[in-house]
Chain A
């Protein structure tokens, strides 16, 4: 799915995905980033998931829903973690448009992110800021 950002209005919900955070997904993420913090203890019954894994895996559905256009730059990221997430937790990840403005040759898009666990408890919020170049002959995205 691809979103037409020209028509989007602030406050509009852009993505709403639910999934269960399984060990295989978390371990694939940890393998990619090489997290050596020790926060993830696979021998535990329900290991704590690294905070950034919650963010990245929460963004996964949003990335798929938005169809980020070429020329997009990931300019900023804010995250607030409010509870530990463990392997096996069900998560609901939503994204709402909080800013959509054109400045010169660039579209500035901000998304408010909310992640809740299966009990409806907020575990993470955030804000993603994207810069989309409106005219980019050789453009490419940096997300």
Chain B
């Protein structure tokens, strides 16, 4: 991959059903994610997705792009900037910032994020992966 090249984005809809399933799977049953009445009284005004659930779409994008290199050498640094509400369409996106050759492999540094349908960033950060094939 070359500097400036965009990663293949991943778009999905975040549903309350998926949030509840994620809560069960992750063990994070915080009521802000699964209790409509509680969440309505919170500063968010309704239930929101888990930050790690939203971040999973970044990792999915990196896995789709780099395969097992991502699970064996990936580094991810993310900031959660805005809540994601059920019914939102979110898109994980990324762009190659730097490519460094080292020890017969390439280290690829990407700026990454997740934005909602309004274009607002819910998550921003950086992902780094080592690949065997120099690009």
Contacts and interface: CB of A to CB of B under 8 A. Distances in A.
Contacts of B52: 52, 55-56, 59, 74, 77, 143
Contacts of B83: 142
Nearest to A85: B71
Interface string B25-58: 1111011110000110111100010111101110
B75 interface: yes
User: Which applies to chain A's interface (DSSP): helix, strand, loop or mixed?
Assistant: mixed
Contact of B60 (A52, A55, A138): A52
A141 B67 contact: no
Given A32-B53, A77-B52, A48 B26 contact: no
Contacts of A22: none
| Chain A: number of interface residues, binned into ranges | 35 or more
A37 interface: yes
Interface in A26-85: 28-29, 31-39, 48-52, 55-57, 59-61, 63-64, 68, 73-85
A50 B57 CA distance: 11
Interface of B: 10, 12, 18, 21-22, 24-28, 30-33, 38-39, 41-44, 48, 50-53, 55-57, 59-64, 67-68, 70-80, 83
